[in-house]
Amino acid sequence: MKRFERSVFCGEVAAQHLGKELTLCGWVNKRRDHGGLIFIDLRDRSGLMQVVFDAKVAADVHEQAHALRSECVISVTGKVVERTATTVNEDLPTGKWEMQASVLTIHNRAKVLPFTLDEAHQVDEELRLTYRYLDLRRPEMRDRIALRHKIIFAMRQVLDEQGFYEIETPILTKNTAEGAREYIVPSRVQKGLFYALPQSPQVYKQLLMAGGLERYFQVARCFRDEDTRADRQPEFTQLDLEMSFINEEDIMAIVEKLIVKAFDVAGKKITAPFRRMPFDEAFGTYGCDKPDLRFGLPIIDCAALFKDTEIAFLKSVVTKGGALGCLHIPQHHFSRSELESWVNRALLNGAKGLLWIRLNNEGKIEAPVAKFLPEDFAERIKVLIPSFKAGDTLFIMAGALKETWTQLGRLRLQLGDLLQLIDKSRDELLWVTDFPMFEYNEDSGRWAAMHHPFTSPKGDWESQSHGEIKARAYDIVLNGVELGGGSIRIHNPELQAKVFKMIDIDSDDMKRHFGFLLEAQELGFPPHGGLAIGLDRFVMLLLGCASIREVIAFPKTQSAADPMMQAPTGVDARKLADYGLKVFAEPVVSKTK
């Protein structure tokens, strides 16, 4: 193999290189044979450069070029010249120039690919992931990975300027009782014992504050053994940070700097400070804790409309002190079939029912229950919703408050999407604050920490019931998607013990799961707090991708499998024996291959 030295990247060839001899390296993107002339577009990660093999200039090299096919890896040496005026490609940064090849080295000959790079977006995603290294050669994927790097690098710079240390925390750690389902790792040295892969560096970053390091961050790998979806993977990356001697405003200010910088790198503009909204307002108005503020359509409490109703199912809800909420859709004509489709969609979402009521052009109420409504019902609606007029529709749900408002929140998002109410030309960032400290689990019949048990309660919490206590917790939301969240932590051991007791974790359990943290709280533990941002999700939203798989170099499929590596796999019984393990369940054969 001939020795070669790359002069510049393909996409960096410019006017100053005219008349000079350069060596370029990369992949053959396309080849065009015109007899005495063979043209190729040579591609590397910087872009394309046209190379000409002319039999009159270098007959032996021209002959070599006949062997070139798409995705062959080569290096080529030659002189840079101007293209003729009729062959200039204005859409290409290097489109004014071409290289006249004098030396060609073929480093690797490519077989016929399982799919062409131009058609990769049309092939089955699992096939793309099986040959992900081919998929990554596409300019779209290359640009996404490059921008992801630039965003994370810029965030690192901001945190360095703010006095943070980047510190790595262990991947093999202790399994705990709280949080999402963990991946466990058997120990060969200590058979029968297991590590866990971290859901997040939560405990470690608190212990770094106990270590007096005061400002920590990490681009952290995290693992959760949960069902995947478009914005969730079994392994993912967080920008994790923690600070000592601060309050919520300090953390929000740092995070806003990071997000503004990331938007700037992505070629977008956003201004800080971001809007703040208490959890109760977010849930009460939009039926969720991560509202999309790019459109209106708030939930309206409409119980007053039915205070004297004789409609049986609504009367039952009112009698039991339940909730009635509605969404007001102005000036959109739904056909009867469309209205029924929305009812069916609500039922598929898990709602117990959906009632529609609308005002026709004659000023009369139309509804499945119209004959049971009082004659002045239209006037009642206008008192509650002054803007209600002919052509408007109400979608109404009734039941327990949390369930009803959650279902209305889901319906709101679907209406916003399908009726094209969302202004996708702008971005809306929001801090949701003052979360409930605890939430009641109907299945277990006990209260649990809504965020995590190290979150500090807010205000005069000891005089309040479980359901009234607010947490010093906060989430950052972009366009209806949670980017991340955090809290001010508990640093007082007595307070920590009280919180554990309120969620029925006794002293023995406390010591078994969190003894190291409780001891640290007695050995000089500073006030502190932090936050973690899901980087995959953030980059996905910045680039407008439909899935985080499009911004991760080597993601898993929806079934948490890696079709390229054919993982997960079974393990030989002899190897399992080294760990003191035996498999009792029959392996499920992966569908990936």
| Residues ≥6 apart with Cβ < 8 Å to 386 | none
For residue 1, being part of any structural domain is answered with no
For residue 3, being part of any structural domain is answered with no
Do 570 and 435 fall within a single domain?
yes
Do 441 and 552 fall within a single domain?
yes
As separate numbers, helices (DSSP H) first and strands (DSSP E) second, the chain gives 15, 22
| Residues ≥6 apart with Cβ < 8 Å to 236 | 221, 222, 224, 534, 535, 536, 537, 548
Do 301 and 406 fall within a single domain?
yes
> CA-CA distance, 581 to 571, in Å (whole number)?
10
| Closest-CA residue to 222 (of 186, 259, 182) | 182
Do 327 and 384 fall within a single domain?
yes
Of 391, 418, 445, the domain-final residue: 418
Q: Is the omega angle on the peptide bond into residue 273 within 30 degrees of 0, that is, cis? A: yes
Do 201 and 304 fall within a single domain?
no
- Tell me, what DSSP letter sits at residue 305? G
> CA-CA distance, 496 to 498, in Å (whole number)?
5
For residue 525, being part of any structural domain is answered with yes
For residue 585, being part of any structural domain is answered with no
pTM: 0.91
- Tell me, what DSSP letter sits at residue 558? T
Does residue 551 contact residue 132 with C-beta atoms inside 8 Å? Answer: no
Do 473 and 560 fall within a single domain?
yes
Of 367, 383, 418, the domain-final residue: 418
Do 350 and 459 fall within a single domain?
no
For residue 269, being part of any structural domain is answered with yes
Does residue 78 contact residue 21 with C-beta atoms inside 8 Å? Answer: yes
- pLDDT, tens digit only, all 593 positions of the chain: 455 689 999 999 999 999 999 999 999 999 999 989 999 999 999 999 999 999 999 999 999 999 999 999 999 999 999 999 999 999 999 999 999 999 999 999 999 999 999 999 899 999 999 999 999 999 999 999 999 999 999 999 999 999 999 999 999 998 876 667 899 999 999 999 999 999 999 999 999 999 999 999 999 999 999 887 778 899 999 999 999 999 999 999 999 999 999 999 999 999 999 999 999 999 999 999 999 999 999 999 999 898 888 888 888 888 888 899 999 999 998 999 999 999 999 999 999 999 999 999 888 999 999 999 988 899 999 999 999 999 999 999 999 999 999 999 999 999 999 999 999 999 999 999 999 999 988 888 889 888 888 999 998 898 999 999 999 999 999 999 999 999 999 999 999 989 988 988 876 777 787 888 889 999 999 999 999 999 999 999 999 999 999 999 999 998 899 999 999 999 998 999 999 998 888 776 555 44
Do 457 and 569 fall within a single domain?
yes
For residue 438, being part of any structural domain is answered with yes
Do 529 and 410 fall within a single domain?
no
Chain Cα centroid distance, residue 593 = 27
| Residues ≥6 apart with Cβ < 8 Å to 65 | 31, 38, 40, 53, 101, 104
For residue 124, being part of any structural domain is answered with no
For residue 48, the domain's CATH number is: 2.40.50.140
For residue 473, the domain's CATH number is: 3.30.930.10
DSSP string, 389-432: -TT-EEEEEEESHHHHHHHHHHHHHHHHHHTT-S-TTS--EEEE
| Phi, psi dihedral angles at 186 (to 5 degrees) | -70, 145
DSSP string, 237-254: EEEEEEEES--HHHHHHH
Do 273 and 199 fall within a single domain?
yes
> How big is the CA angle at 197 (ends 196 and 202), to the nearest 5 degrees?
100
Per-residue b or e along 531-553, where b marks 16 or more CB atoms closer than 10 Å to that residue's CB: bbbbbbbbbbbbbebebbbbbbe
pLDDT value of residue 590: 52
For residue 590, being part of any structural domain is answered with no
Q: What six digits make up the tokens of 107?
A: 């480093």
Do 467 and 496 fall within a single domain?
yes
Based on its alpha-carbon atoms, the radius of gyration of the chain, rounded to whole angstroms, reads 30
State whether residue 496 is helix, strand or coil: helix
Please give the residue range of the domain that contains residue 545. Answer: 142-279+429-574
| Residues ≥6 apart with Cβ < 8 Å to 500 | 453, 506, 509, 510
- Tell me, what DSSP letter sits at residue 570? -
For residue 350, the domain's CATH number is: 3.30.1360.30
Task: Specify the number of domains making up the chain.
Answer: 3
Of 418, 443, 468, the domain-final residue: 418
Do 164 and 55 fall within a single domain?
no
